[in-house]
Amino acid sequence: MLTPASDLQAPSAASGAAPRRLALRGDLLDYTAAPVLDAPDTDGVRWRPDHWLLIEDGRIVGAQAEAPPEGWERVDHRGCLVLPGFVDTHVHSAQLDVVGAWGTQLLDWLATHTFPAEQRMADPAHARATAELFTDALLAHGTTAACVFPSVHAVSAQALFEAAHARGMRLVGGKILMDRHAPPALCDDVEGAERDCRALIERWHGRGRIAYAVTPRFAPTSTDAQLAMAGRLLAEHPGLYLQTHVAENIDEVRWVRELFPAARSYLDVYERFGLLGPRAILAHGIWLDAEDRARMAAAGAQVAFCPSSNLFLGSGLFDWAAAQQAGVAVSIASDVGGGTSLSMRRTLLDAYKVQACAGRRVTAHALLHAATRGAAQALGLGHEIGSFEPGATADLCVWRWASTPAAHRRQQVARDLHDRLFAWITSGDERDLVEIRVAGRRMPAAGYAPV
């Protein structure tokens, strides 16, 4: 386990300490098992309307219908939906400046928008300001844990870790590795990159709620020597994560085939260098084949499905059902700045649309599970985040079911719980967020203008 209880709560000057014993009243929803993708009436849904969630020393200790006894600080949110905080498994902190930029597919997007934005992260002041803005923006959308790409600069990773640690957030991240096919200002070298990674690992991995991820951007921007170095780091530190991109775009897949002619597939490039394992987070995975999916499942790696980005950049339609049938864990991610919002509700709606375009219908339960407990379990953090199990960290959000007259009406006429939840996802109004708590502490995101 990466999180010693003694170091769990990093104090935040803005939010103050959590009450030692806290009871929150509301409609509690979490999941005990993975729901069936296309069946609204499914197992694994734990629905406890008008219950009290009991939190002690930042951890959940239980839930009950009756009010707690004296000695508990009570916060009454009756009539509101209480969910575990969202887990965003693939997002780029350095790309806030290019959210919604017009017009190109993946490889042109990188050259036109992404690389210029990331070059600015070499400035420590800019890196710190961006990290502060980014972590606050995550919280303002109900996301309490994330797997994050900063930039190739060690200072950008340092700033990201500092901002997340100050807020007590669970965050997985690491400096990007990139030693070719990028602007010179964004290229590192194998020796320098390894030195930076080792220093960041030593300082941050396992500190508070921070975990380090070895982060090659994607196969085309790393030489064989750099990918081999990444594999060595993973072998030497079994608790590290690996995060990268795979099979997002047809032109990208073609390019990888030219650069690595000995590899059977794009995924095989990573496997050859020892990068495929149970802590591997592979973003996109649209153009994987059946053998790739079987190898991912055998390794315990996950796909971070990025529907908003895939739609915006025209990359393709991810086959969630095929991944699930192969035994591959699927989480859902915003992929900002290819994605157009840090809102996981908007991202879940786009996931539904992607699957609908591919002739499939996925349920609100499948969507919410993939952004909470499913994501946590895929990261090996199911004991800590993503649910209201006793012992889990109290990372949670309180939401209004509706904030406009039309949305209220839609909730009133909903046929059942699933209908209510699906309508809640599709309404996607940031005004619905009432309260964010990280390890039981109320975070000061109210009034923040979400990205």
Instruction: Please check whether residue 292 lies inside any domain of the structure.
Output: yes
Q: Tell which residue, 439, 92, 68, has the closest CA to residue 244.
A: 92
What is the CATH number for 97?
A: 3.20.20.140
Q: Could you tell me which residue, 100 or 259, shows the higher pLDDT?
A: 259
CB-side neighbour CA atoms (13 Å) of 136: 17
Q: Tell which residue, 237, 219, 229, has the closest CA to residue 279.
A: 237
Integer distance in angstroms from the first to the last C-alpha of the chain?
Answer: 33
Q: Which residues contact 310 (CB under 8 A, 6 or more apart)?
A: 248, 284, 286, 316, 317, 318, 354
Give the tokens for residue 435.
């309260």
Cα–Cα distance, 178 to 84 (Å, whole number): 35
- The Cα diameter of the chain in Å comes to 69
103 and 205 belong to one structural domain: yes
Which H/E stretch holds residue 267? Answer: helix 266-272
Does residue 15 have a pLDDT over 70?
no
Instruction: Please check whether residue 119 lies inside any domain of the structure.
Output: yes
Instruction: Please check whether residue 450 lies inside any domain of the structure.
Output: no
Cα–Cα distance, 138 to 170 (Å, whole number): 12
Does residue 444 have a pLDDT over 90?
no
95 and 58 belong to one structural domain: no
Q: Tell which residue, 83, 27, 143, 9, has the closest CA to residue 396.
A: 83
Residue that has been written with the tokens 């991995």 in this structure: 205
Read off the pLDDT of residues 47-90 as tens digits, 9 standing for 90 and up: 999 999 999 999 999 999 999 999 999 999 999 999 999 999 99
128 and 227 belong to one structural domain: yes
In the three-class reduction of DSSP (H, G, I as helix; E, B as strand; rest coil), residue 195 is classed as helix
111 and 210 belong to one structural domain: yes
Read off the pLDDT of residues 226-260 as tens digits, 9 standing for 90 and up: 999 999 999 999 999 999 999 999 999 999 999 99
Q: Tell which residue, 272, 266, 256, 271, has the closest CA to residue 286.
A: 266
Residue that has been written with the tokens 């990068």 in this structure: 275
Does residue 114 have a pLDDT over 90?
no
User: What share of the chain has pLDDT > 70, as a percent?
Assistant: 95
Q: Return phi, psi of residue 258, to 5°.
A: -70, -40
Instruction: Please check whether residue 293 lies inside any domain of the structure.
Output: yes
Cβ of 263: how many Cβ atoms within 10 Å?
17
49 and 109 belong to one structural domain: no
Domain final position from 378, 410, 431: 378
Is the Cβ–Cβ distance between 218 and 182 less than 8 Å? no
Does residue 451 have a pLDDT over 60?
no
Task: Please give the average per-residue pLDDT across 107-119, as a whole number.
Answer: 83
Cα–Cα distance, 74 to 21 (Å, whole number): 9
Q: Which residues contact 321 (CB under 8 A, 6 or more apart)?
A: 37, 360
Does residue 9 have a pLDDT over 50?
no
Cα–Cα distance, 369 to 372 (Å, whole number): 5
Q: Which residues contact 186 (CB under 8 A, 6 or more apart)?
A: 115, 118, 119, 151, 152, 178
Does residue 383 have a pLDDT over 60?
yes
Instruction: Please check whether residue 448 lies inside any domain of the structure.
Output: no
Q: Return phi, psi of residue 37, to 5°.
A: -55, -45
What is the CATH number for 60?
A: 2.30.40.10
192 and 150 belong to one structural domain: yes
Domain final position from 331, 348, 378: 378
Instruction: Please check whether residue 50 lies inside any domain of the structure.
Output: yes
218 and 320 belong to one structural domain: yes
Domain count along the chain: 2
Give the tokens for residue 209.
């709620």
Please tell me the predicted confidence (pLDDT) of residue 445: 62
Does residue 450 have a pLDDT over 50?
no
Residue that has been written with the tokens 């407990």 in this structure: 373
Q: Return phi, psi of residue 403, to 5°.
A: -130, 0
Q: Residue 339 carries which DSSP code?
A: B
pLDDT band for position 427 (cuts 50, 70, 90): confident
Does residue 12 have a pLDDT over 70?
no
Instruction: Please check whether residue 386 lies inside any domain of the structure.
Output: no
122 and 232 belong to one structural domain: yes
Please tell me the predicted confidence (pLDDT) of residue 149: 97
What is the secondary structure of 198-245 as a DSSP string?
HHHHHHHTTSTTEEEEEEE--GGGS-HHHHHHHHHHHHH-TT-EEEEE
Show the domain range for 27. Answer: 5-84+394-442
Cα–Cα distance, 39 to 366 (Å, whole number): 9
Read off the pLDDT of residues 180-235 as tens digits, 9 standing for 90 and up: 999 999 999 999 999 999 999 999 999 999 999 999 999 999 999 999 999 999 99
Q: Residue 247 carries which DSSP code?
A: S
Q: Of the ranges 329-343, 357-371, 435-449, which one carries the lowest mean pLDDT score?
A: 435-449
Domain final position from 328, 351, 378: 378
Tell me what the pLDDT averaged over the chain comes to. Answer: 93
Instruction: Please check whether residue 384 lies inside any domain of the structure.
Output: no
Q: Of the ranges 12-21, 125-134, 210-219, which one carries the lowest mean pLDDT score?
A: 12-21
359 and 437 belong to one structural domain: no
213 and 275 belong to one structural domain: yes
Residue that has been written with the tokens 């539904």 in this structure: 352
Task: Please give the average per-residue pLDDT across 159-186, as a whole number.
Answer: 97
Q: Tell which residue, 17, 102, 116, has the closest CA to residue 58.
A: 17
Cα–Cα distance, 282 to 259 (Å, whole number): 19
Q: Give pTM, 2 decimals.
A: 0.94
271 and 329 belong to one structural domain: yes
109 and 17 belong to one structural domain: no
Give the tokens for residue 94.
């350095």
